[in-house]
Amino acid sequence: MSRNAREDILEAAKKTAQARGYGGLSMRDLAAEVGIKAASLYYHFPSKADLASAVAKRYWEDAAADLDKAWDEIADPAERLRFYPETFRRALENENRMCLCSFMGAEYDDLPDQLKTEVQIFADVNVAWLKKALVATGVVSLEASEARAKAVFAAVAGAQLMARSRADISLYDTLIESYRAAGLLPA
């Protein structure tokens, strides 16, 4: 056990949720995976909902930081948009996992309210970044940017879902290229 059990729990829960969603999170199994007693896990997270909410919040905060970093490091606006699908591809590269919030979004009706909020924030963060990137490229006007950003977000998440269901990352790449060919994303 490392010095920071809370961080170990969050990391293990993130991997589990990316592979099995909220419904697949088991407090007992996570405790065993981390090497602690279930009571110790409940010390850090009083309920499964609290744990999943903390994981989802950390997930969208990390995603926002990655997108902000890309914005700062990639000067060309079109190149920023070409980079965007890589953020979703990374999950597939990690043992065919999915975006945690996409997976949980599919379980939305069964989520506790506090977790629903975190899942929605993830989508909002992505759409806001995409709106800004689309306007910066001149691809769409400010007025049309939200609808286009939502379409890009949904398309990229959908490509990830299709690729995961077939355990075929090349399918993800093919779909992203088709979005570029169709003009949804810059070529």
Mean pLDDT in the chain? 93
Give the global pTM: 0.91
* Domain boundaries, position 174: 56-182
Is residue 39 in a domain? no
pLDDT digits (tens, 9 = 90+) for 38-67: 898 999 999 999 999 999 999 999 999 999
Q: How far apart are CA 92 and CA 172, in angstroms?
A: 9
63 and 125 in contact (C-beta within 8 Å)?
A: yes
* Residue 21 in domain: no
Residue 1 within a domain: no
Residue 28 lies in a domain: no
Would 155 be classed as within a structural domain?
yes
Token pair for 181: 């060919």
Residue 136's contacts (CB-CB under 8 Å, 6 or more residues apart) are 77, 80
Say which amino acid occupies 86: E
Number of domains forming the structure of the chain: 1
Window from 18-22, 74-78, 129-133 with minimum mean pLDDT? 18-22
Quick check: 44 and 14 in contact, CB under 8 A?
no
- Is 86 within the bounds of a domain? yes
**Which pair of structure tokens corresponds to residue 177?**
């290229």
* Helix residue spans in the chain (DSSP H): 5-20, 27-34, 38-44, 48-73, 77-93, 100-106, 113-137, 142-165, 169-182
pLDDT at 115: 95
Contact indicator for 177, 115 with CB cutoff of 8 Å: no
Locate tokens 């570029």: which residue? 180
CB 31 within 8 A of CB 41: yes
Q: How far apart are CA 155 and CA 174, in angstroms?
A: 12
Q: Tell me, what CATH number does 133's domain have?
A: 1.10.357.10
pLDDT-derived band of residue 97, with 50, 70 and 90 as boundaries? confident
